[in-house]
């Protein structure tokens, strides 16, 4: 059975309500109306009118990026957007991961204003500008400092401050993940060795 969700992290950086479910304890059916089925304890079964052997069935949105053997499912509650997110790692056969005919190379320059500048031996160049993202990061940091300056002396944080920390971190992580995914897909399509 799955453990009940519990909090991860600390007060200052924000805590996340999260749980993990073993790969043999859940099923996901992908399609027009995708469904996630997970085991729950008797208390929740009673609350939702489920039978002894029934599992909780939830609608899920999204499309799988890879098809493979499912790993341990991670469920996380995002307080900022008031939604649950599921992360499902999969093991993909080696044959699916092999590089294309990789006869080209790429050089990367990682920085702050330009997050990544990339040149390839195919003659293509890619530039991922980070100024807007960095500006939003700085604005959120300034707002956190402003709110912290208004706190009573006996308090070090507030729900609003924790929410801003979490929002800032998630925004940064999402931008980094999107950048890497986009760049890797482009390089793969060009036949660049990875």
Sequence-ordered list of residues with C-beta below 8 angstroms from that of 156, at least 6 positions apart, any chain = 11, 12, 148
Residue 47: Cβ within 10 Å count: 10
Sequence-ordered list of residues with C-beta below 8 angstroms from that of 125, at least 6 positions apart, any chain = 117, 118, 119
Q: Is 26 exposed, middle or buried (0-12, 13-18, 19+ CB in 10 A)?
A: buried
Question: Quick one: average pLDDT of 91-105?
Answer: 66
User: What are the tens digits of pLDDT across the range 2-33?
Assistant: 555 555 555 555 566 788 888 898 888 888 88
In this prediction, residue 1 carries a pLDDT of 47
In this prediction, residue 58 carries a pLDDT of 86
Lowest model confidence (mean pLDDT) among 60-64, 100-104, 156-160: 100-104
Confidence check: pLDDT of 137 > 60: yes
Confidence check: pLDDT of 97 > 70: no
Backbone angles phi, psi at 90, to 5 degrees: -130, 150
Lowest model confidence (mean pLDDT) among 14-23, 52-61, 114-123, 131-140: 14-23
Lowest model confidence (mean pLDDT) among 68-72, 81-85, 125-129: 81-85
In this prediction, residue 41 carries a pLDDT of 86
Confidence check: pLDDT of 141 > 90: yes
Q: Which helix (H) or strand (E) holds 149?
A: helix 131-149
Backbone angles phi, psi at 55, to 5 degrees: -115, 160
Q: Which residue has the tokens 């002396």?
A: 153
Confidence of residue 122 (pLDDT cuts 50, 70, 90): confident
Domain boundaries, the chain: 6-94, 103-190
CA distance 103 to 192: 6
Confidence check: pLDDT of 149 > 50: yes
CA distance 133 to 85: 23
pTM above 0.85, yes or no: no
Buried b (16+ CB within 10 A) or exposed e, 152-166: eeeeebeeebbebbb
Backbone angles phi, psi at 23, to 5 degrees: -65, -25
In this prediction, residue 43 carries a pLDDT of 87
Is-contact 164 145, C-beta < 8 A? no
């Amino acid at each position: 059975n799955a453990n009940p969700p519990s909090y991860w992290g600390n007060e200052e950086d924000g805590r996340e309500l999260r749980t993990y479910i073993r790969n043999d304890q859940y099923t996901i059916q992908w399609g027009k109306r995708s469904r996630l089925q997970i085991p729950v304890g008797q208390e929740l079964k009673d609350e939702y009118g489920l039978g002894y052997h029934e599992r909780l069935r939830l609608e899920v949105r999204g499309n799988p990026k890879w098809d493979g053997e499912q790993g341990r499912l991670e469920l996380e509650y995002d307080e900022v957007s008031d939604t649950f997110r599921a992360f499902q790692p999969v093991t993909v056969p080696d044959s699916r991961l092999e590089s294309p005919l990789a006869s080209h190379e790429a050089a990367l320059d990682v920085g702050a204003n330009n997050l990544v500048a990339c040149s390839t031996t195919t003659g293509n160049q890619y530039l991922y500008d980070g100024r807007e993202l960095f500006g939003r990061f700085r604005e959120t940091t300034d707002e956190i400092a402003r709110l912290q300056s208004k706190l009573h002396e006996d308090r070090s944080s507030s729900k609003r401050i924790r929410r801003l920390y979490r929002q800032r971190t998630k925004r940064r992580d999402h931008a980094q993940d999107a950048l890497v995914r986009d760049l890797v897909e482009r390089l793969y399509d060009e036949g660049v060795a990875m």
